[in-house]
Amino acid sequence: MSDAHAILAAAWAVGDDTTPLLVLADLFDEVGESNAAEVLRLVVAEAGTSRHSGERSARLKELREQAWQRVRLTTWRNMAVQGNAGAAAFSRRPDSARPDREHVVVRPDRRTIHRFRVELDGDDEVVRTRDGRELLRRRLLPDTLAFIHERGDLYWSAGFSIGHDHFPFPDGWQTDPAAAEAEQLRRLEAALAPAAIPVMDLPGQLVPFVAWTLCEFLMDRGRRASEGQVVLGAHMLLFHPADGGWRHCQSLENREAGRAVALLRQRFRRDVNGGRGVLAGLLVRVADDGRVAARKLVWIGHDGNDRESPNLSGATATLSAAVFRRAADDIEMDDEVAERFVLGDEARLRGVFGGQG
């Protein structure tokens, strides 16, 4: 195991502490991986402030694009990323004469790494561990087989389609989609458990890219806010009386701060039109000194028209409890609902973090 593997393993194990990743950045500089070092430092710096820097934002965009290009220069040249979980997959063809694919799937949210092979065995697709143990098998349709033979490649994105292909939803799953998805994930993870590998067994070429994936996941504002952290920057909350009150729904990147109010209006109207039982939306800012301020409140008045609070002057100003109470009266809330609605002090504003809509 290299020094880089050891430091990445430490970063993998310590939760949201980015110290090992910054140590890894120093090591990357020493071994000529300056791009990987810079992207780690900038992702951490961006998450550590609520202040927008056009220069930092532009450089991060450039570095991320370069990372996508650089992975294509490795033998694991195909990379894909999946949603909010921050999962990343890398794949390659070990033998150019065969359509088989080898995959490394990284799940920072679950702190797991899996390495497995997807092979063509006659008319079957077979998923095996690296040492050949069979994990999953399914018969492929003639059209799929024809497509594979034509391309000479067992579709590189297979690492992300395994769940739906090998564990289709049962009939009637629409009655409880969340339960169906949870059961599918449980079965998939149980099937792939024997393919799990420790960080030390990660291919050396992938260490910089897995470090980048982990860093992006650890620094993700939305994830941290939904887990109860009071995260620097701008956040949107929506009021769902049927779900208990204010729910954190979205964190904004620093580059979006200038149009945060417009984004709040759009999100609020979208959820209202979607029939999600939303009565109001709130923009909250957490400053670099930790102060939490309610900056803009939007709601539907008793006449069905959209309303919003006046613009505040001063970067540290916050909406008073009276503003919330006037909005509650306009919405015609009963006292019990209004009690959950009014966020009249910083302690109550802090308390809404951790609820995810």
Helix, coil or strand: residue 161: helix
Q: Is-contact 287 316, C-beta < 8 A? A: yes
- Tokens (6 digits) for 75: 């033998």
Q: Would you list the DSSP string of 287-318?
A: -TTS-EEEEEEEEE-TTS-EEEPPPPPSTT--
Q: What is the pLDDT of residues 119-167, one digit of tens each?
A: 999 999 999 999 999 999 999 989 989 988 888 888 765 455 676 788 8
* Contacts of range 98-103, beta carbons closer than 8 Å, 24 or more positions apart: 99/148, 99/149, 99/151, 99/152, 99/153, 99/154, 100/154, 101/153, 101/154, 101/155, 101/156, 101/158, 102/130, 103/158, 103/159
Helix axes 3-13, 207-219, angle to 10 degrees: 20
Amino acid at 296: K
Residue 348 CB-half CA count within 13 A:
15
Q: Is-contact 50 257, C-beta < 8 A? A: yes
Residue partners of 33: CB distance under 8 A and separation at least 6: 208
- How far apart CA 21 and CA 57 sit, in angstroms, is 20
Q: Please, which residues bridge with residue 192 across strands? A: none
Phi-psi region of 86 (alpha: psi -120 to 50; beta: other; left: phi over 0): left
CB neighbours of residue 10 within 10 Å = 16
Helix, coil or strand: residue 93: coil
Q: What is the pLDDT along the chain (357 residues), one digit of tens a residue?
A: 589 999 999 999 988 899 999 999 999 999 999 999 999 999 999 999 999 999 999 999 999 899 888 988 999 988 887 655 678 889 999 998 899 999 999 999 889 999 999 999 999 999 999 999 999 999 998 998 998 888 888 876 545 567 678 888 888 888 998 898 889 888 988 999 999 999 999 999 999 999 999 999 999 999 999 888 999 999 999 999 887 899 999 999 999 999 999 999 999 999 999 888 899 999 999 999 999 999 999 999 989 899 999 999 888 899 999 999 999 999 999 999 999 999 988 999 998 887 654
Burial category of 57 from C-beta neighbours within 10 Å (exposed 0-12, middle 13-18, buried 19 and up): middle
